[in-house]
Amino acid sequence: MVSAESIRAGFGGRFGGEPSVVVRAPGRVNLIGEHTDYCGLPVLPIAIDRATFIAAAPTADGILRATSAAFPAQAEIARSAPRHQSEPWHQYLSGALHELAAVAPGRGANLFIDGDLPAGGGLSSSSALTVGVISALAAAWGSPLEPVEAARLATTAERHAGAETGGMDQQAIALGRAGNALRIEFLPPAVRYVPLPEGLAFVVAYSGQDAPKGGSVRDAYNERVVGTRIAALMLADMLGVELEGTPLLGNVAGIDAASVMVVELPDQMAPRNAANAVEANVERVIQFATSHFDSARKVPVKRYAQHVLSEAERVDAAEVALAAGDLKTFGRLLNESHDSLRNDCRCSTPALDKVAAAMRKSGAFGARLTGAGFGGYAVAACPPAKVQAVVEAAVAATGGPAFEVTASDGLSFA
């Protein structure tokens, strides 16, 4: 059992002495609203009762030394040159240092990291690490952050690691509240808590396929970001709407005709061709935090837009269903979300389809992949009396692990 006490003991075993701060950063499960956050459209996640813990103590040498109980290769990163880390988990540390460059210049830190939050995609282990590290370092250096600011910095830090994330994971981790989901809005930013009704339990189950944010999964994720940007640019042109900055579907989703006109979008298009067609600067479509997308590469447009616009409507309907305690409707919306993620967004896998189907058949109200997809975890909503049956069915389908999660408080100091 990982606890604040075991983290303190682990820190002492690696570095000697006591840490000055211990942070708990929970994982998150997105109930519904997948691939909508980077489009500026709402999401409905929960923080969960599994977490990453970070113990930290400041040093005076300008070096971040971090060791993890879950991953090999201790990190040793100079604050003066934090970029270009070869180990994937070190890249998140590097991003955190980049965002904290102005905080206590010249100071370093020792970090020990442990927890019971599984890696592998879907439960936001990388975002928990990033939010937790940023919070721990800022506090250790005498400049503690409000949770909302830690979430903001962590979102940008993860983009330095190469994934153009939308900000859902970091806010859910920082701002979670026990017994509640969070409806997170992005245009304009807002959060409200959605109480979870009695008679509703959640099970998460691993598909058997990792879905890390690096490599091919990152490229597939970024392709969907670009496809939805093209869709937003073209819909805005059809509707006679001027968009400034990065084109987001959230800028046009509220216009009644948008959901009708989406069928007129091209099946595929290259960013530079889309930009030329509407006389826009292609950089608005392909520019990421630390890289560019290939402007000549054709990407799906219509299907991605169809998923995002319909998913945003399902978020609204899911919130209404939860408020009414209508768990059958809530489960149906989860199933519809999974179908859209499989058929339009095309980020499900046969293993995710299999485990979601197994959990439905064993008594869940509904089940869907959670997270970006391409592997990782699925989530099922079920009656409490069916939790064990759902867990057993999931393990039988893919080998597990599968376990119940509950809505938890967010970022805290232990």
CB-based contact 194:181 (threshold 8 Å): yes
Report the alpha-carbon distance of residue 97 to residue 340 in Å, rounded.
38
DSSP string, 237-253: HHHT----SS--GGGTT
With CA atoms as reference, report the closest residue to 247 among 266, 271, 220.
Answer: 271
Q: Which of 37, 49, 114, 169 is catalytic?
A: 169
- Is-catalytic flag, 169? yes
Looking at 143-279, list the stretches that DSSP marks H as alpha helix, in order from N- to C-terminal side. 147-160, 168-175, 215-239, 258-261, 271-277
With CA atoms as reference, report the closest residue to 129 among 53, 77, 66, 72.
Answer: 53
With CA atoms as reference, report the closest residue to 111 among 85, 88, 139, 83.
Answer: 139
Which 3 state secondary structure label does DSSP give 258?
helix
Our measurement of the distance from residue 342's CA atom to the centroid of its chain's CA atoms, rounded to an integer in Å, reads: 18
Report the alpha-carbon distance of residue 71 to residue 114 in Å, rounded.
9
Residues with a catalytic annotation lie at: 169
